[in-house]
A and B are shown apart, each in its own frame.
Chain A
Amino acid sequence: MFLNLLPVLVVLCVASTPLAARAATTFELKSVKIDLPDSDRMFPEGPGSDAINNNCLACHSAGMVLNQPALSKQAWTAEVNKMINNYKAPVAPEDVGTIVDYLTALKGAK
């Protein structure tokens, strides 16, 4: 009876080996050329919308921001500063306050 289990055990051990080494593959890769869609979505018009459209859309589309939850002015300030300090967004210093105010008006914590 135990002997009958042996083939099953062998199969299980093979199946649970995470990596099965093989000879080099016959698989081939084909060159790829694609076009990625872009977004022409702008931020909703309002005080500061020019500043945010001009400063933020070079690196990411507007949808990223419009999908964000309501956040405090402090949190929006931290986000804008992260874009400038960590990701080197070239935001003109005089636009920083305008952008934070725009985001807080659009998506401020209630």
Chain B
Amino acid sequence: MADDGVFHRMMTRRRLLAAASAAAAGAALSRPAWAQSMIDLPLPDGPGARQITTSFPQKGPMILQRTRPPLLETPFEVFDKGVFTPNNQFYVRWHWALIPTDIDTDKFALTVRGHVNQTLSLSLNDILHGLPSVQLSAVNQCSGNSRGFFQPRVPGGEWANGAMGNALWTGVRLKDVLDKAGVKPGAVQVRFKGLEEPVVADAPHFVKSLDIDHARDGEVMIAFAMNGEQLPLLNGFPLRLIVPGWYATYWVKMLNDIEVLNQPDTNYWTKVAYTIPDTPYASIKPGEAGVKMIPINRMVPRSFVTNMASGSKVNAAAPLRGIAFGGDCGVAGVDYSIDRGQSWRQAQLGKDEGKYGFRQWQTQLALPAPGKYSLLIRCTNSNGVAQPDTPNWNPAGFMRNVVESIDIIAA
């Protein structure tokens, strides 16, 4: 059972200094210009200290995982505010450092080419005003969200639980765009590329592919708006692929090139990177070799407490609430346990904003006696899949979805 808290202890460097030495109290009063807010992510064996940065354009306070290329994590308390994650605190994840920072909407074009009847070059005007627009709320979650909680630890972006977000996406159906170009018989996959470029010339450009039937399912879309506004540049302005129910690696940012393929894609990012063991929960034993690997694909259910930090002192009758998502389908139920999983009770689900989005849940705790409790939270999705009670493990740190637990003390 994982015992990571979903909340993280906030502290300021100023406060750290004050704790370290009495002399620092003077410095604290003068509020030095370099004082920065810090957070301590509860990653097993650390390091958990991260800066809270406000240096990134169009973004509010974010947990700095890496400056270049940017990896910015959503501070977890944001998820308590509602099911839609604000654009300015939506997490950010880029692979390559050469990211265009100047996008002229009059010059931008999306190319559709390959195994099609006619190659298209679509302007933003063609896309916004020439095709029916559709809306969908969906969770975008990094394959490696929560990687920092893997034990044994694995290399990669050492995220806590904030490499995810839910937004109301507005855009056009990918199917409509493909139909406009006319997919030829024999097409098997569709490959997507954005404007980011590797620093090293012969390094593999970031591209991802979907099977042709998936690409034409009418749900996969090209978004030009997120929560009713244009996307922040770091979240993929002006166009981003939306693949509901699938991990964010497929949600190509700054999408400007769509290539219909008549043979399976063998590029590095689909064939080698972002692969998982073809086992239940994508889980293997550390060191286990010779396992068949497949591209990561559908998401799995998760749920979190959002109104209490691990270690909190609470009233015996405190309200408890959080968010859940079903992964590749809706949420059927969220259950919680106050007795380490011996018995489970149902939480009440909030409004359904769409099966691929976050769903709020809430309940009223009734803790029988003062003392310590370990609360467990478990989502079961509408396909009947529940979160497992033991953590998965794989060398890339993908697809964590163990039942979450928080430790609280009843007054």
Which residues on A are within 8 Å of B, measured CB to CB? Answer: 15-16, 18-25, 27-39, 41, 58-61, 63-64, 66-71, 75, 79, 86-90
Contact = CB atoms under 8 A, between A and B. Distances in A.
Describe A's contact surface by its main secondary structure: loop
B50 to A, nearest CB: 7
Contacts of A64: 65-66, 71, 157
Contacts of A63: 64-67
Interface string B33-67: 00000000001011100100101111000001111
Interface string B85-129: 000000000001101011111100000000000000000100011
A53 B4 CA distance: 34
Contacts of B20: none
Contacts of B155: 68-69, 71, 75, 79
B238 A33 contact: no
A35 to B, nearest CB: 6
Contacts of B47: 66-67, 69
Contact of A24 (B45, B102, B128, B230): B128
B170 A61 contact: no
Contacts of A61: 66-68
Contact of A69 (B46, B71, B157): B46
B199 A59 contact: yes
Given A24-B128, A63-B64, A30 B230 contact: yes
B130 interface: yes
17 contacts: A16-B354, A18-B355, A19-B173, A24-B130, A25-B129, A31-B106, A32-B230, A32-B237, A33-B102, A34-B102, A34-B233, A37-B53, A37-B67, A63-B67, A67-B50, A67-B66, A86-B272
Contacts of B102: 32-34
8 closest Cβ pairs, A-B complex? A69-B153, A39-B67, A34-B57, A88-B203, A61-B67, A64-B66, A25-B133, A37-B55
Contacts, number: 148
Describe B's contact surface by its main secondary structure: loop
Contacts of A33: 101-103
B335 interface: no
Interface stretch (B218-226, B315-323, B341-349): B218-226
Interface string B256-284: 00000000000010001100000000000
B199 A21 contact: no
A36 B224 contact: no
Contacts of A23: 132-133
Given A18-B244, A19-B173, A61-B66, A24 B153 contact: no
B202 A88 contact: yes
Contact of B135 (A16, A20, A31, A87): A20
Given A71-B153, A88-B203, A89-B200, A22 B134 contact: yes
Contacts of A35: 57, 101
